[in-house]
Amino acid sequence: MSARLNLVVLGKQGAGKGTQCKRLVDDYAIPQISTGDILRAAVKAGSPLGKEVSGVLESGGLVSDELVNKLVLDRMNQDDAKRGALFDGFPRTLNQAEALDALLGDDGVKLVLNLDVSTDLVTERLSSRRVCQECGTIYRDSDIEAISGTCEKCGGDVIQRADDQPEAIRKRLDLYERDTAPLLAFYEKRGLLVTVNGDQTPEQVTTAIRQVVSERGLA
């Protein structure tokens, strides 16, 4: 096995990729690389990059492959990614998958986990999601009254993101089917794809993922 453990986590928006990646980070001591988080941080900082992509994110669209590929390259060059990474939200397209192959070289992608969740369920999850503007903690509609719209962890404002509005959700899911779903066939042909039932509880999904990684001899 190469020195790097590179895992890709695929699935519709709202499938629970971020939740599972945060758990696996602790398991395997490799960072979660979420292009969505990187882009939102840039928007919050008001950087030139943030200004460029803010409108795209708010409408539920996708940022260009060229820009996303550059972000991932920069992130992979940081010290904490020397042992590998969990890729959350990347690649989204075949172009990005090929760019990732070129970036990783001989290390390559070791396993691709597809969190399979019904469209109805992810739509429900996304439309009820609320996020702290400061620290990114996720809440649900049912939590808002209890916390009075203020994050319990940092005191920041808890809001509904623009891309979690119904129209943006529909657009994001349409884009997923058009651009990202073909990646399943791409990785399946290479024997790297494993589909996990994401309709289970988060704990059950984590257990299933750990079992797959163990069976593949990756940890």
Interval 106-122 mean pLDDT: 92
Amino acid (one-letter) located at 218: L
The DSSP element (H or E) to which 5 belongs, if any, is: strand 5-10
Helix axes 94-104, 65-76, angle to 10 degrees: 30
CA distance 115 to 175: 17
Could you list the active site residues? 17, 92, 129, 161, 172
The DSSP element (H or E) to which 138 belongs, if any, is: strand 138-140
Q: For tokens 């399946």, what's the residue?
A: 188
CA distance 102 to 42: 25
Amino acid (one-letter) located at 71: L
CA distance 165 to 148: 21
Considering the domain delimited by 5-117+165-215, tell me its CATH architecture: 3-Layer(aba) Sandwich (3.40)
pLDDT in tens, 21-67: 999 998 999 999 998 888 877 788 888 877 877 877 777 677 888 88
Domain spans in the chain, listed from the N-terminal domain onward: 5-117+165-215
Which pTM does this prediction carry?
A: 0.78
pLDDT in tens, 129-167: 899 988 888 888 878 766 778 999 999 999 988 888 888
CA distance 160 to 139: 10
Phi first, then psi: what are they for 32, rounded to 5°? -85, 125
